[in-house]
Amino acid sequence: MTIDQVETFGNCLLQHGPASDRVYLMKLDREDFPEILDHLDELAESRGYSKVFAKVPAYAREGFEQDNYRLEAAIPGFYNGKTDGLFMARYFDTERAIDPDAERVDEVLNAAQEKALAVPAIKAETRGDCRLAVPEDCAQMAELYREVFASYPFPVHDPDYLAETMAENVTYAGIWENGRLLALASAERDKAGSNAEMTDFATHPEFRGRGLANLLLWKLEELMAAVNCKTCYTIARATSFGMNITFAKNGYSFAGTLIKNTQISGGLESMNVWYKRLPGGANS
C-alpha cells in the first residue's frame, strides 16, 4: 500500500501522494501566505496530481480564488470559534471535478437531513465497554482497520503509526466486548484552532447496525468538551448513508461536499463535511 508523504513548507503542514492523487494543505500559516500558493501549484504539476485540497482560514479565500481554487465547504467559527474555516479545491484535471456518483450523494444527503436530530438508536445487547484507547490496544486497533478498510489515506493499518498519533494529538475511543474490539473512532485535535476532526470510524462487519458509531461519537465529544474544544467536524464518505445520518442525528450541520477527494478502499470518493458547536463554542 502506498503511503502519502507529510511534509512542511515554512510553518505550513501538507500531505501529498499518489494514493489520493492530490496535495492536501492541512495547516496554513499566515507568514507563508501567499507564497504557499506557488509551492502547491508546483508540487501538483511536478508530480502530476489532479487536485489540490486546502483547509484555510477565511482571510485566504481571495488569494486562493485568484489562483483558480473554488470553495467546496465552509465551517463558521472553525478557528477558535471566531474565524471561518474554508475547504478550497483546485482541479488540474477537469474530469476529477465531476462526480459520477452525484445522484447517490444527493440521495444520501437528503436522507441524512430528513433524519436530522432524530434520536439515535442504540441496541442494548451490544453496548459493550466504550472507553479511551491506550497504547496497548494499538495492535488490535490496526487489525480492525485492516478488516474494514482495504486501503486508507493514512497508515492506520500500522500499530506504530497509531501509537505515534496517540502520543501526539489524536484521541482514540473504542468499544470492546469480552475483550474483542467491535468499533473504533478518533478525534484529531487542533489545539491552536480549538477544533477537532471526528474521524477513522470503523465497525467490524459483524456488529454493524447497532448504533456503535453513536456511542463513539458521544464519547469523543465528551472528551473534546473537557479540553475546551469549540468545534467538532467530520469529513465523511458522501455515499455512506450510515455515517452521514449518524452525524445529522447528532446535531451536526452540513458544510459542503468535497468532490472525488479521498482514496478509500481502492477508489476516489467524494466527502461530506459536517460540523457542530460544543458547549462553550461560538454561537452555542
Question: How many Å apart are CA 227 and CA 172, to the nearest integer?
Answer: 15
Q: Which residue has the higher pLDDT, 149 or 72?
A: 72
C-alpha cell of residue 126? 451490544
- Which residue has 481554487 as its cell numbers? 69
- How confident is the model over 71-114, as pLDDT tens digits? 999 999 999 999 999 999 999 999 999 999 999 999 999 999 99
Average pLDDT on 156-167 reads 96
Give the pLDDT score at 204. Answer: 96
Task: Please state which of the four CATH numbers 3.60.20.10, 3.40.630.30, 3.40.50.10490, 3.40.109.10 is assigned to the domain occupying 5-97.
Answer: 3.40.630.30
E strands in the chain = 5-9, 12-17, 22-27, 51-57, 70-79, 83-91, 129-132, 170-177, 180-190, 195-203, 231-237, 253-264, 267-277
pLDDT for 7: 96
CATH number assigned to the domain covering 102-277: 3.40.630.30
Cell of 82: 471566531
Pairwise CA distance, residues 246 & 73, whole Å: 19
Gyration radius of the chain's alpha carbons: 18
211-248 pLDDT per residue, tens = 999 999 999 999 999 999 999 999 999 999 999 999 99
Q: What is the pLDDT of residue 153?
A: 78
Given a cut of 50, whether residue 281 has pLDDT beyond it is no
pLDDT above 50 for 284:
no
Q: Supply the pLDDT for residue 282.
A: 45
CA distance 213 to 247: 9
Domains 5-97 and 102-277 share a fold: yes
Q: Which pLDDT belongs to residue 117?
A: 75
Predicted pLDDT at 135: 97
Domain boundaries defined on the chain: 5-97, 102-277
Sequence letter at residue 122: I
Q: Report pLDDT digits (tens) over 251-264.
A: 999 999 999 999 98
Mean pLDDT to the nearest integer, 127-155: 91
Whether 280 shows a pLDDT value over 70: the answer reads: no
Asked if residue 81 lies in contact with residue 230, where contact means CB atoms within 8 angstroms, the answer is yes
Q: What is the pLDDT of residues 115-136, one digit of tens each?
A: 887 877 676 555 579 999 999 9
- Residue 2's pLDDT is 61
Q: What is the DSSP letter of 99?
A: -
- How confident is the model at residue 265, as a pLDDT? 78
Tens of pLDDT, residues 11-63? 999 999 998 999 999 999 999 999 999 999 999 999 999 999 999 999 999 99
